[in-house]
Structure 1
Amino acid sequence: MSILEVENLSVSFKQYTSGLRQKNHQVISNLSITLKAGKILAVVGASGSGKSLLAHAILGILPDNASISGKMKYAGEELTPDRKMALRGKEIALVPQSVNYLDPLMRVGKQVRTAVKSGAAVTAQKMVFKRYRLKPEVENMYPFQLSGGMARRTLLSTAIVSGAKVIIADEPTPGLDPTVMKEALNNFRELADAGCAVMLITHDIESALTIADEIAVFYAGTTVEIAPVNNFSGKGEDLRHPYSKALWRALPQNDFIPIPGSQPHSSALPPGCLFAPRCPLATPECQSNQPEIRELRGGRVRCIHAT
């Protein structure tokens, strides 16, 4: 069952150039994803592909100079700005990329307890700290007293105790040792198995494959493919989009073949298919219009050449 649906989302930012001329930079275009109860969707792609911006758009925490179009629904109803504010931190929880989201003036134990919506908050906080190997004395510390790994575990703890139906984890594992990282990923799997919808934003495809149900591949601010995890195997023969295949084969554990060229900046996006300038399959038709995303072989793809 779908809990959160994003359809044809576009995000642009107003900027002023020399002479106080206003210019819009479109950083996300026609992006679509669906989060389902009991499932984990991993979102992968290069830096600047729109992964974190999608999370911020869902939560309604984009800066004031952002403009949004497209449709977002939560539990079948439109996700308006007021509804985003009402649901944020309650039914939709964020595990942010930056540890700066912690309140520098509040002890971390109290911060985690404020996220508990039912039951004994102190008990829940102590249990989750024990799970993440945070010693009892940590609850009385301030964020500046924590190491990077401890701060990330505190952020994870906040999401775990929130009881949210949707968990958005934005690069939640950097700075964690392998044991804690594996446990954190398994906790997301447990949350999904208990009925949550989880969106895991990550650069680490290999880790995502251990817990995710589907992988959404982003490129230059749009979704180019959404595929079941078992498609990411071998030489990527089961993948649909040329970029997904190239990204898979570029991994060190695969062929380690670099992708020629670079992802375009939002201020210099090419016409038509955004991957066309780097794509070996590109034809003149690819340069006229951005392809629509379509169903194909149990997944979704934005490419007219995909078969």
Structure 2
Amino acid sequence: MLDQILQTLPQVLIDGLTLGAVYAVIALGYTMVYGILELINFAHGEIFMTGAFIGTAILMTFSGLGWLSALPAVIALIIVLVLTSLATGVLGMGIERVAYRPLRKASKLIVLITAIGVSFLLQDLVRFISELKNGNYIVNTPALFSGQINVKASTLMSSFNDATFKVTFIVVLIVAVVMMIGLEFFVNKSKWGMAMRAVAQDPDTASLMSINVNKVISLTFFIGSALGGATGVLFALHYGTIDPYIGFILGLKAFTAAVLGGIGNIRGAMFGGLLLGVLEMFAAANLSIMTGNVFGAEYKDVFAFAILILVLIFKPEGLLGKAVVEKV
């Protein structure tokens, strides 16, 4: 059994890191909003999905104008990422202003229901536009990077099988790592980041210290939504097919990653996303081997959530979260 697991390990790590990077960046949006408002923004998964469609629409437009073949792939990617990030960032700010800000003093349950309502609204709106333009809500994304790379893992260890990955694997990892490092630097080193941390600790005291709490919250939604939209572009490029419902399951998994790493903790969201992606791919490849064909790859989600439950039983604050001591 161990030999069979080792054979697929290189490919599992490649696929798991790709999926985990997507989870990690989406989880950053959840954890930023929760850290400041203690709000689970369940519409964030649909913002990710909207970003995938906006990025695909831009790529299709470039292709129709002949720009996609004229521009270097890296330049085209940067343009698409910037435009999509701006669009989804503004969308996130609009959602916060219209749907969340009027309910800021209301019960958390009411705001949560509102977030779920916004997610359904975005799903159906994107589906309507997609069917209106293409006649089908399932859309194929134009290829920007082509080719596959073979990894001779067997030269490192005879038990390993060789692995392959698409060039977009490298693109996803590089862009995701740059966004994670950039966000970490922004939150910890900039004045706006300091304002975010102050509002997260005590919004009332922060407002007394001349910090515009509404602007900080809007900026938080803008950054989180921009990251989610950019990640949607990366997802569309790597997997090639998108539909209006990809945001639901991926958003749920990203939220799970945020909780696994420690909700409200930026580094925890990164670590939780990467870990969840690797665990999920490991289960998909090896669950039938480990259980004697009792459970197959379709139970990979059960495996991942079982790990989450065990972590939360023994460390409720998450792997990198800190236990909060309630003062009386």
Task: Establish whether TM, by shorter chain, passes 0.5.
Answer: no
Larger % of strand: which?
A: 1
Larger % of helix: which?
A: 2
Report the TM range for the smaller structure's normalisation.
under 0.3
